[in-house]
Amino acid sequence: MNRRLFPLLTGLSLVIFVTAPILIVRAPYESTMGLVQKIFYFHFPSWMAMFFTIFILGISSVIYLFRRKPVADRLAVAAAELAVVFGLMGLITGPLWGIKAWGVWWQWDARLTMAVILELILVAYLLLRQYGGPGSDRLAAGLGVFAMANVPFLYISTEIWRTVHPRTSVVPTLPVDFGIPLWWSFTGFIVLCLALLTARGRLEEQRAAVDKLYLALEEE
Amino acid sequence: MDCYHMRVLLVVVGLVAIGGLGPVPVVAQLTEAAQDGFVPMGDIPPEDQLPAAPLLVAAYAVVWAIAIGYLWTIWRRLGTVEQELAEVARRVKSKD
């Protein structure tokens, strides 16, 4: 991982996150939900950042399963942890929106339940890597691919099943005034995600270097 | 007890009895919660509605707190690993 990339990406995400509230304040209120709908500008991008990291996890896991490249495995671990972090953001901001919009913090409908299950799969991945012992890397890679396979189903779940959650089709049909702050925040989340991925990837690289040195020490 | 006192006592007892049945205690009058049955209502009054602004602020604060907190954990773990790396590298060098 490039060491210079992290400060560059962090600085860029900071600029976007400082300017995003200005655009969010200027955006019009949604007619049925009012002020609370503005949570959408952080809620939706946090899920998109989660999906982005899950795709990195899934693709890296496939590469690791077939090519056994350690760099792919390190990237998968970093991406899985980030996916949990962004998923947590989505799972907390969602109920804060829901209590006002629906009158309840939580509803066990298809979209919300699938989101929790996906988060649990990712937590299971991390637990497996932490406590699974030898060989758990391949098993975890399989779990990473399974997590990636879940993403399209989660995304289209509101179109298939009746849920209280706003439909996925809301996003492509957004009026421009709603769209500008949303896509600006989305860019900020993706840049932040890349910055965190760079930092987390470096941590995995350093861990691998430590392991290599320990092995060298034992062999002598 | 003469007839007059008997009548006064009856009036007092009667007033107490009527008073007990009539006005409810002050504490009970403060709340208007239904006790005998619930009646549905279309919309709750504005003063009972949950304000949106604290929820919005909380949502943004949570996102920021998680992002900064996570970055801090990476920085802390990286510091520990780099320290360990330096230590092991020194041991390897001293063995050579």
**Which tokens is A200 given?**
């987390």
Q: Is the pLDDT confidence value at B21 over 60?
A: no
pLDDT of residue A139: 95
CB pair distance less than 8 Å for A96 and B67: no
Cα→Cα distances A183→A32, A41, A66, A174, A187, Å: 22, 8, 36, 11, 6
Identify which of A35, A89, A100 has the shortest CB distance to residue B62: A89
Identify the CA nearest to A107 among candidates A27, A179, A161: A161
Beta strands in A96-136, from DSSP E residues, in sequence order: none
User: What's the helix, strand, coil split of chain A in %, to 5?
Assistant: 80, 0, 15
Percent of chain A with pLDDT over 70: 99
Interchain CB contact of B95 with A (< 8 Å): yes
CB pair distance less than 8 Å for A85 and B70: yes
Residue burial B30-44, b: 16+ Cβ < 10 Å; e: rest: eeeeeeeeeeeeeee
Number of structural domains found in chain A: 1
Domain ranges, residue A120? 5-26+33-219
Q: How many C-beta neighbours within 10 Å does residue A93 have?
A: 26
Identify which of A38, A99, A213 has the shortest CB distance to residue B92: A213
Q: What is the CATH number of the domain that holds A206?
A: 1.20.120
Interface test mutation site (partner A, options B63, B70, B91, max chain A beta carbons within 10 A): B63
Cβ(A124)–Cβ(A147) below 8 Å:
no
Q: ipTM for the complex?
A: 0.91
> What mean pLDDT is predicted for residues A86-107?
94
> What mean pLDDT is predicted for residues B35-55?
75
- Contact list in A for residue B53 (CB cut-off 8 A) is 35
Beta strands in B1-96, from DSSP E residues, in sequence order: none
**Which tokens is A19 given?**
């300017």
pLDDT of residue B13: 66
Nearest-5° angle of CA A72, CA A201, CA A76? Answer: 35
Q: Is the pLDDT confidence value at A149 over 80?
A: yes
Mean model confidence pLDDT for chain A:
93
Interchain CB contact of B89 with A (< 8 Å): yes
> What mean pLDDT is predicted for residues A138-160?
95
What are the φ and ψ backbone dihedral angles of A2, each rounded to 5 degrees? -75, 125
Mean model confidence pLDDT for chain B:
77
Interface test mutation site (partner A, options B41, B44, B56, max chain A beta carbons within 10 A): B56
Identify which of A89, A213, A216 has the shortest CB distance to residue B63: A89
Helix/strand/coil for A30: strand
CA distance A173 to A179: 9
pTM: 0.83
> What mean pLDDT is predicted for residues A73-90?
97
> What mean pLDDT is predicted for residues A70-75?
96
> What mean pLDDT is predicted for residues A21-35?
91
Residue scoring higher pLDDT (B91 or A66) = A66
CA distance B7 to B15: 12
Identify the CA nearest to A201 among candidates A70, A85, A90, A48: A70
